[in-house]
Structure 1
Amino acid sequence: MALKATIYKATVNVADMDRNVFIDQVLTLARHPSETEERLMLRLLAWMVHAHERLTFTRGLSAEDEPEIWQLNDHNGIDLWVELGLPEERRIKKACSRSQHVWLYAYNWRAAQPWWQQNQNKLAQQDNLSIRYLNDEQLSALTQLASRSMQLQATIQDGTIWLSDDTHHLEIQFETWLDAGKKP
């Protein structure tokens, strides 16, 4: 018998001062049986960083040809493709060819550091790819906010994310490994 996904509900309030985006949204996240709570929370954080009325979660781990999150345009083209983890270079290249912009959120220092050293030069050739890394300490703190029913407030300014619920207040900053907007 196959295991079923665990459903999480998140009511989020996002005030992104950098992009002048303000959104209140109720999100439903399905946590795949093989997905960790850390990954689920990073997926939710990535949604908040890119918050937009058209931004949606996909089938994620259940679909090889879809990212974790994407934003489709009026013509079913992909404006934004968001991946998590340490995908193969081939997958990233395919995403870059299909989407206007690709964001990758890496985590888990022990695995991420050698992956980045191995792939850095090849990935830097992708003009529409940005890569951010969230360190283990911040990811652990983020996971403290996880519950089946969450109410979160996020304020984003100058690349810093202030995230809180009723009892926790976090300041999160990603490390930039690759920035599509700042390539020579």
Structure 2
Amino acid sequence: MAIGATIHTFAVQLADVDRGVYEDLTLRVARHPSETAAFMMTRVLAYCLEYAEGISFSEGVAATDEPAVLVRDLTGRVTSWIEVGSPDASRLHTGSKLADRTVVYTHRDPAKVAATWDGKRIHRAEDIPLRSFDPGFVDAAAAALERRSTLSVSVTEGTVYLELNGTNLSTAIHELRAG
């Protein structure tokens, strides 16, 4: 019998001063058995840092034709394609053609992630930011995860301040371009 996903619930207070976004959110996140805590934490961070009307999680690692997070407008058209981890070039190419905006968040070494795209065809590659965090930040956040978590995310001048279940962390958001 296959093991099902584990549901994590996050009570989130989001204050993104850089974008003028202030929200209280309740997120139910399904963690697939093959998904690491660091990958799930990066999905949650990407959701918070990209929060906009119409944002949603896909089926995560089980989704084959959608990114980890996406934003749709009221007509159902995908406006933002938000990948997590180390997506291959063909996924970025598809996402960039489909959506107005494509972005990647990674908990891995960004130079190694970007290197896998070298020489590959990616639509509007120069417009795709690859965002990463300080080494150890996502792992420390993942270590503080519980099935029910309280999360406060504040963003000011490109720095993320995170309080997760009483653990305080901060990181700069580093950005490379896919192209």
- Please indicate, yes or no, whether the TM-score normalized by the shorter chain is above 0.5: yes
Query: In percent, how many aligned pairs have the same letter?
Result: 26
Alpha carbons of structure 1 residues 105 and 120: separation in structure 2 relative to 1, 3 Å:
farther
Q: Gaps (5+ residues) in structure 2? A: none
User: SS where residue 125 of structure 2 aligns?
Assistant: coil
Alignment match, 1:149: 148
**How many Å separate the matches in 2 of 1:120 and 1:58?**
27
Which string of whole-angstrom CA distances, capped at 9 and with x for unpartnered residues, describes residues 109-150 of structure 1?
A: 3xx533423424655952541111234411212213311001
**Matched residue SS, 1:119:** coil
* Aligned match of 2:67: 67
* Matched ranges for 1:161-172 at <5 A: 161-172=160-171
TM (normalized to structure 1)?
0.88
TM-score (norm 2): 0.90
Distance (whole Å) between structure 1 residues aligned to residue 70 and residue 95 of structure 2:
11
1:49 aligned to 2:49?
Answer: yes
Q: 1:37 to 1:128 in 2, by over 3 A?
A: same
Q: Distance in 2 between matches of 1:124 and 1:177?
A: 16
C-alpha contact (below 8 Å) 2:71/2:80 kept by paired residues = yes
2: CA distance, partners of 1:58 / 1:67:
7
Q: For 1:168, give the aligned amino acid.
A: T
Cα distance change of structure 1 residues 127 and 73 upon mapping to structure 2, 3 Å threshold: farther
Aligned: 1:11 with 2:14: no
Higher helix residue share = 1
Q: Which amino acid aligns with 1:94?
A: T
Q: Deviation string for 1:54-112 (max 9, x for gaps)? A: 21111121121111111100111111111111111111100100011111112323xx5
Compare 38-47 and 131-140 and name the one that shifted more. 131-140
Partner of 1:78: 78
Structure 1 unaligned residues grouped into runs of 5+: none
Aligned length in residues: 178
What CA distance in whole angstroms lies between the structure 1 residues aligned with 2:130 and 2:167?
27
* Secondary structure in 2 matching 1:142: helix
